[in-house]
Amino acid sequence: MTSISNAINHQTTHPTVILAFIAGAFLAPAATATPAVVHAGEVKSCHYLGQVNGHSKHGKHHDWKPSAKASALSHANKRGATHVVWDHFTPIGAFNGVAVANLYDCGHHHHKQPHHK
């Protein structure tokens, strides 16, 4: 962040250049994309990678599913899944729960036999 501070403190740097630099640093695409959420029929030619469980964050949230889904998608991404199919959602008490997803690699760069759940 020193270069940003130096650029901001430098009198001749145009504010638009500074804003473009800062926006580029924050808006740059991530190295890996979040797996696509699809229906089971859309992964027929894909390689099955297994399942992951996503847990909601602890707390008093009536709508725990978005947190549990985000957790499962993060795990799926780390396992190299390109696509996920939600298997089921299990509440834990009134405020927490688990999202279970089946993982698939639908990249066409490999020649493994597809395996479906």
Q: Please report where in the chains the tokens 């009536």 appear, as a residue.
A: 62
Low-confidence winner among 7-16, 30-39, 47-56, 101-110 (lowest mean pLDDT): 7-16
Q: Give percent of the chain above pLDDT 70.
A: 62
Residues with Cβ within 8 Å of 8's Cβ and at least 6 positions away in sequence, in order, are 18
Predicted local confidence at residue 116, as pLDDT: 52
Q: Taking 50 as the threshold, does the pLDDT of residue 65 lie above it?
A: yes
Predicted local confidence at residue 7, as pLDDT: 45
Decide: 40 and 85 in contact? Cβ < 8 Å.
yes
**Pick from 29, 24, 30: nearest CA to 7:** 24
What is the 8-class DSSP label of residue 31?
A: S
- Beta strands 47-55 and 36-37 are unpaired
Predicted local confidence at residue 88, as pLDDT: 97
Predicted local confidence at residue 66, as pLDDT: 93
| CATH class entry, domain 36-105 | alpha beta
- Specify the pTM: 0.65
- Beta strands 96-105 and 47-55 are antiparallel
Q: Please report where in the chains the tokens 């725990």 appear, as a residue.
A: 64
Residue 76: its H or E element: helix 65-78
Per-domain boundaries in the chain: 1-31, 36-105
Decide: 89 and 68 in contact? Cβ < 8 Å.
yes
